[in-house]
Structure 1
């Protein structure tokens, strides 16, 4: 026997298959280059508290350190000194709270955290979802849906907990008037700004993931529509200084979506467990109504009666009629689109359930007819079950 040649399973370097298989490692190497900027501290800056305005770039280390501006949030506005009482020592201490606003350099930070989201996506896929898929032996359709629900479920859970923590810490739930009071809300705490940066980074990472995950061509338009809706609404809330309202609506929406994806994961493990979908359907409708109510209350009434009116880009105020109407129209159109998709989804589920019930009834009805024909159920015919079937004579 001749020696069999080994098949080269490794795809050619820089081919499509190579990039897809190793995209997490490639992105990790790119992110490591940016992280190198945190290792050098030899630069001298004109304003040490804000590295955005650095002016001395004399050394090579300085050029590398400039890469660190992608990692940290920018535009520190001022430092507020807070005097609080220590309950243990009975003394007082001074702490500083950094407030931020947005700017063009946030685009670089969003890009870096988009790379981080791609890496986290690959880690969850390889170390969690792929192991479960190998044990459950899903079909191709269930495999893709399970991966989608697993990834989005993890993201929604993390975003809900983080967003709820910000809402509680800033007393936005206990004081709804703060959603529009004091507009424009140009200054944000670190958590608020970082939350929006991470949200934009995650939904931007979903676009190259369509290529990395080999998404079917017929599913790409649907995915792009949802990704675009998230990016438009989150960016709008961030740029128009409606970050408080946007945070409340995001947490509300993410909670409902989290329940759906958890219900779908439970359904894949056991198809008889469908109670979660019923609870999700009720909360979905309530979530849409609450979203519309908060939007109309904040944008339609709260901002309309605010002290600062007019368009002032220097102060970050967009409180004019055209902007308010555009924001409400965008929110209402999106909610109507989601309700339309929800109704179609429920109708499709009901039709599939009705077809399943019909198929289950057909075999039972055919069995009962055959039993009646064979003399079961008390009626025995002349050529029924009591008389054996006559054998055919063999032709000689």
Structure 2
């Protein structure tokens, strides 16, 4: 009696298929949303994903000038989801066209390649975000006026560039969470990356929802500059490990930015908002200027800065110990057997009445003359 072998049909959707076709899936979803926004079927649904929502136009009667401002609301979730798919597509293009080719040329190990990919993506993102944020600060001209962080609070009206900046920031850091799975990051490295990704999402979303966009923007721009310098230096460190002088500049800037963040946060939450003209809590007006919210925001900023300084000190101590260990010369291994020293021939020692040379051989005995 013959037994028939049962063949299992391969799974249509599994881990490998999703990882390999992730870019195609994201690209098709983006194209579908763009086409839906152009055709408008169903009406005003596709455009909700692509364009910024909650547009408010103000008109000045004297000059008949119109100013467009933006508010935030639940529809922003759709916009963030769309730009999250765009970030996945851009992430894959940078990985395939730039980072993979460089890593093959450098012949990096798996651990080094993982760190190289992380620094490559983050350095490009930090540089782009720093230039974009600095241009917004320059255009709105509130960078030098400290009272702009709490004067006329709540800042419930944002310009187009300011809102689009926050939408893209939240979308990028949300896309970084599934990328840990799709990029097959090592299990030992996932908690570290997931920790700072969650901190970015919490702080940027908090500044966006609590109408602290001005303060969040002025704090995130110098922070991105310091992080760009660190990851750029780490990229150059992989091919040449002797390039360590740049990390000294990064360390000084890192400490300065931490002090700047703490100073501005204390001034804003401890003094500025506490003395504002319209304290109170109103979700409809976007006013969250009450004592528990201020304490919670200030505590979150202080704890985050303390955590970052702790990681910084541990990193510097680790590097210092490695340098000290490399500078200590290795002790020469000594043989337990002492080497015999060469001694002058001809010299004899007399021990126990017998004459012996120093090399251990006894001298020739003279023959006695017959009597």
Query: What's the TM-score, normalizing by structure 2?
Result: 0.85
Structure 2 CA distance, aligned partners of 1:239 and 1:36? 30
> Which residue among 79, 100, 103 is the counterpart of 2:73?
103
Deviation at 1:81, TM superposition (A): 5.3
SS in 1 for 2:45: helix
Q: 2:365 corresponds to which residue?
A: none
Matches within 5 A, 1:319-358: 319-358=289-328
Q: 2:149 corresponds to which residue?
A: 179
| RMSD of equivalent CA atoms | 2.2
Q: 1:236 corresponds to which residue?
A: 206
> Which residue among 30, 33, 45 is the counterpart of 1:66?
45
The answer to whether the aligner puts 1:34 opposite 2:33 as a matched pair is yes
Q: 1:292 corresponds to which residue?
A: 262
Q: Which of these two proteins has the greater Rg computed from alpha carbons? A: 2
Structure 1 CA distance, aligned partners of 2:120 and 2:87? 15
Q: 1:21 corresponds to which residue?
A: 20
Structure 2 CA distance, aligned partners of 1:167 and 1:82? 28
> Which residue among 326, 331, 342 is the counterpart of 1:382?
342
CA contact (8 A) 1:36 1:64 kept: no
Matches within 5 A, 1:274-285: 274-285=244-255
Deviation at 1:167, TM superposition (A): 0.5
Moved more, 168-177 or 144-153: 168-177
Deviation at 1:13, TM superposition (A): 4.3
Alpha carbons of structure 1 residues 104 and 337: separation in structure 2 relative to 1, 3 Å: same
SS in 2 for 1:303: helix
Q: 1:366 corresponds to which residue?
A: 332
> Which residue among 51, 72, 97 is the counterpart of 1:127?
97
Gaps of 5+ in 2: 1-9, 344-371
CA contact (8 A) 2:279 2:290 kept: yes
Deviation at 1:83, TM superposition (A): 8.9
Structure 2 CA distance, aligned partners of 1:342 and 1:120? 31
The answer to whether the aligner puts 1:142 opposite 2:112 as a matched pair is yes
Q: 2:368 corresponds to which residue?
A: none
Alpha carbons of structure 1 residues 82 and 203: separation in structure 2 relative to 1, 3 Å: farther
CA contact (8 A) 1:70 1:112 kept: yes
Instruction: Provide Cα deviations, 1:40-60, integer angstroms capped at 9, x if missing partner.
Output: 2xxxxxxxxxxxxxxxxxxxx
